[in-house]
Amino acid sequence: MEQKTEKQRLVSLDVLRGLTIAGMILVNNGHGPSTFAPLQHSLWNGLSIADVVFPFFLFMVGISTYISLRKYRFCRSAPVGKKILKRTILILLIGWGIYWFEGCCAGDFLPFGHLRIPGVLQRIALCYGIVSVIAITVSHKVIPWIIGGLLVAYALILSIGNGYDCHGSNVLAVVDRYLFGASHLYHKSPVDPEGVLGIIPSVAHTLLGFWCGKLIMESKELRDKMLHLMLFGFVLMMGGLLLNYGIPFNKRIWSPSFVLFTCGTASCLLAFLMYVIDEKGSKRWTPFFVSFGMNPLFLYVFSELLSIIFHDFGIGNVIYTGIAAVIADAFLASLVYAVVFVMICWLVSYPLFKRKIYIKI
């Protein structure tokens, strides 16, 4: 049997990235009065299926960052620095552009007085930028120590600053209000889930993905890649589960236990997908997810803009009403609507994939 080497493209990476993007779109687009339970985020402490999709994507950002910078041998240079800075700024601007577009569709063409400053893309941008700078400026041997230091420091901040309370006195909320003002924050919770201090554990999260990228690329044999990912993931999962007894899982504050468990789960899932897809060759079902995985950022932005249009112009209500006329159960109707929305996005992603059109920044 021919040995698989690192030079061969791992379809499992594209599948997991696509699965994550499709999951993010699904979770963000429940509709109607009753959202299907698995598509709901935990109100505070806890962990739902919806809570893991964004962490999985941030984990994949870490892996992609390793693979991308490996081409430059992690050397500092003007072109590499320019590339990192350009990509970071562009993603930040796209994130703010989505919020501006939302205001425009609502009739406010200059929504800058209440434009939300933190956000999903903003966090992705900052984590990518910070992790990239770390990758080209420090020895990779110290990265596990950086991860540990960030998580310990963040745990201390949470413990002394009411960080586990869903209240305006939470240090995360206090810092965000001081820096941005309440009008520029998430309004559905006292604590902005993408606030400033949450960048600390999110960088550690992305660095864990970066380390998994290192495990993948430095292992020549496919079975070694799978074994290393599975063992690493298992250790992280167990660490997260044990830590959960004192530091509960919480996506909104991106708690250290949440970081460890979700990264561990992503690592184990990736190892499993490698076995099924790359080792056993089961690929007939993969094009759907690969099509999402080849243009992840573009499709996420497209889905956000489409969701705003559907909401503000009543298109979503028309589609949901049609679904609800056939499906009486409001929870199931919400799920079907979310699936239909994902399929609309797939109608955009699949032709791009077939034509090998990859939209990158």
> Does pTM surpass 0.85?
yes
d(CA 22, CA 14): 12
Q: Can you tell me the mean pLDDT for 46-66?
A: 96
Q: Is residue 36 part of a domain?
A: yes
Q: Is residue 154 part of a domain?
A: yes
State the pLDDT confidence band at 101, using cuts at 50, 70 and 90.
Answer: very high
Domain, as residue range, for 304: 9-40+286-361
Contact assessment for residue 273 and residue 12, using Cβ atoms and an 8 Å cutoff: yes
Q: Is residue 4 part of a domain?
A: no
* 180 and 309 part of one domain: no
State the pLDDT confidence band at 361, using cuts at 50, 70 and 90.
Answer: confident
Q: Can you tell me the mean pLDDT for 246-251?
A: 96
Convert the pLDDT of each residue in 152-171 to its tens digit.
999 999 999 999 999 999 99
Q: Which helix (H) or strand (E) holds 338?
A: helix 330-354
Looking at 251, 282, 313, which one is the last position of a domain?
A: 282
| CA distances to 162, 181, 190 from 185, in Å | 19, 7, 9
* 186 and 327 part of one domain: no
Has residue 74 got a pLDDT over 70?
yes
* 52 and 68 part of one domain: yes
Convert the pLDDT of each residue in 108-165 to its tens digit.
888 888 899 999 999 999 999 999 999 999 999 999 999 999 999 999 999 999 999 9
Looking at 267, 282, 297, which one is the last position of a domain?
A: 282
Q: Can you tell me the mean pLDDT for 84-91?
A: 97
Structure tokens at 264: 């561990």
* 80 and 203 part of one domain: yes
Q: Is residue 17 part of a domain?
A: yes
Residues 6+ apart with CB under 8 A from 318: none
Q: Can you tell me the mean pLDDT for 297-308?
A: 97
DSSP 108-145: -S-GGGS-----HHHHHHHHHHHHHHHHHHS-GGGHHH
Convert the pLDDT of each residue in 320-349 to its tens digit.
999 999 998 888 999 999 999 999 999 999
* 358 and 250 part of one domain: no
What are residue 193's phi and psi, to 5 degrees?
-65, -15
d(CA 171, CA 292): 37
Contact assessment for residue 11 and residue 293, using Cβ atoms and an 8 Å cutoff: no
Q: Is residue 2 part of a domain?
A: no
Has residue 52 got a pLDDT over 90?
yes
Q: Is residue 16 part of a domain?
A: yes
Q: Can you tell me the mean pLDDT for 59-80?
A: 95
Convert the pLDDT of each residue in 201-229 to its tens digit.
999 999 999 999 999 999 989 999 999 99
* 56 and 87 part of one domain: yes
